[in-house]
Amino acid sequence: MKRPQSINLIFAFLGGIVLLFIIAPLAGMFFSTGTSELIETAKESEVRESIWLTIFTAMGATFVFAIAAIPFSYLLARKKFPFKRLVLGIIDLPIVIPHSAAGIAILGFISRDSLVGKVGSEFGLNFVGSPVGISIAMAFVSIPFLINAARDGFSGVPVKLEKAALNLGASPFKVFFTISLPLAWRNIVSGLILMFARGMSEFGAVVIVAYHPMVTPILIWERFGSFGLQYARPVAVIFILVSLIFFVILRLLSKEKNNA
């Protein structure tokens, strides 16, 4: 039996430091919050409504924008076109720019005086300070995760399979829905979950577009600013627990679908 190489021990030690860096603050927050505090906070209607609003708007943003993002990702994976590198750079912009700046940009895009805002007003929609506005802000900062994951998935699908189906008379739409999409589905699901998760955690862009109604990250910030750490921490713990449960369920469902 070979003795462990010293480099592996060093890397394992460094990895342990990284894991401790991630776990320690979260563990400290959980251990500092009493059970009675969690129960009392969970009973508050403001907290429950905020969590459901966060889940609902993040999920709505993910699935609505996925309708366009997934086909676009296929195009990016399969086709070469002028300024493609520029397009790929634009897709990653929401990750790079400060999210407060993203919120200001979105606010100008959907405000009542903008073209989008005026069109929405014609149909009785006011994007600013509404769940729709929150979803738009969430989608803006999170959609790169879906596009990049889906693009990687489609890139991994063998082109020869698609060409064989086309040569046998299948239409491009049929090839996409029966070959490309199923084979790239694992990456697409990962992208959907990442986009959903990123949307749920967004604060900077959302707080500018819609301070009210409050999503949970804003509620946590407001309670911290108004009453301090002791009052904000239970909400943060509950939100983390709900998020973990939700993401575990999504991962299990996606695993079952991929194994089906």
**Tens digit of pLDDT for each residue in 62-101?**
999 999 999 999 999 999 999 999 999 999 999 999 999 9
Distance in angstroms (rounded) separating the CA atoms of residues 139 and 196 = 9
* CB-based contacts of 172, cutoff 8 Å, min separation 6: 166
Residues 218-241, mean pLDDT to the nearest whole number: 94
Predicted local distance difference test score (pLDDT) of residue 124: 83
End-to-end CA distance of the chain: 40
Q: What is the pLDDT of residue 125?
A: 84
Lowest mean pLDDT across 28-32, 83-87, 190-194, 253-257: 253-257
pLDDT band at 126 (very low <50, low <70, confident <90, very high): confident
Helix runs in the chain, H state only: 6-31, 35-42, 45-78, 84-96, 99-110, 115-122, 131-155, 159-167, 172-175, 181-183, 185-201, 204-209, 216-227, 229-259
Q: Over 70: is that where the pLDDT of 1 sits?
A: no
Domain count within the chain: 1
Residue 210 or 121, more confident: 210
Question: What's residue 11's pLDDT?
Answer: 93
pLDDT of the residue at 187: 93
* pTM of the predicted structure, to 2 decimals: 0.90
Q: Within a domain: residue 63? A: yes
Distance CA 99, CA 208 (A): 10
- Banded model confidence at residue 36, pLDDT cuts 50, 70, 90: very high
Q: Is residue 116 part of a domain?
A: yes
Please report which confidence band the pLDDT of residue 6 belongs to, taking 50, 70 and 90 as the band edges: confident
- CA 74 vs CA 50, 67, 78: distances in Å: 35, 12, 6
Q: Is residue 34 part of a domain?
A: no
Q: Which CATH number does the domain housing residue 95 bear?
A: 1.10.3720.10
pLDDT at 2: 55
Helices 131-155 and 84-96 sit at what angle, rounded to 10 degrees? 130
Q: Is residue 12 part of a domain?
A: no
Residue 174 falls inside a structural domain: yes
Task: Calculate mean pLDDT across residues 193-197.
Answer: 93
For 210, the domain range is 40-259
The pLDDT of residue 232:
94
**pLDDT tens-place string over residues 131-175:** 999 999 999 999 999 999 999 999 999 999 999 999 999 999 999
What pLDDT does residue 226 have? 93
